[in-house]
Amino acid sequence: MADERLAAILYRRGVTLVQLQRAIWLGCARKYVALLNGNEKAPMFITSLSYFFALVEEVDTSSVAEDYWKHMQSKVAQLERMWRSTETRETK
């Protein structure tokens, strides 16, 4: 229910799907880096839209080039592969 309220707030603010997507990429990249660096204080999972809420504002006020977001998208995929390979090695 909390995620539904946050989604409604974002909708009322006029946040676009592109802005939300970029906030998710940014948040996921930061989360993967924290996990790969062994940050013990970082929660393991993202369990709520609230994790990305402040990042929507950050994305909205940033003035980075479109190419940066293309790079961010591929970087998140790369970080995910790295995390999955680390996870696989630890379970063997």
Question: Residues 13-50: pLDDT tens digits?
Answer: 999 999 999 999 999 999 999 989 987 777 778 889 99
Instruction: Please tell me the pTM assigned to this model.
Output: 0.84
Q: b/e per residue, 27-53, with b = 16+ CB within 10 A?
A: bbbebbeebeeeeeeeeeeeeebebbe
| pLDDT-based confidence at residue 67 (cuts at 50, 70, 90) | very high
Mean pLDDT for the stretch of residues 54-81? 93
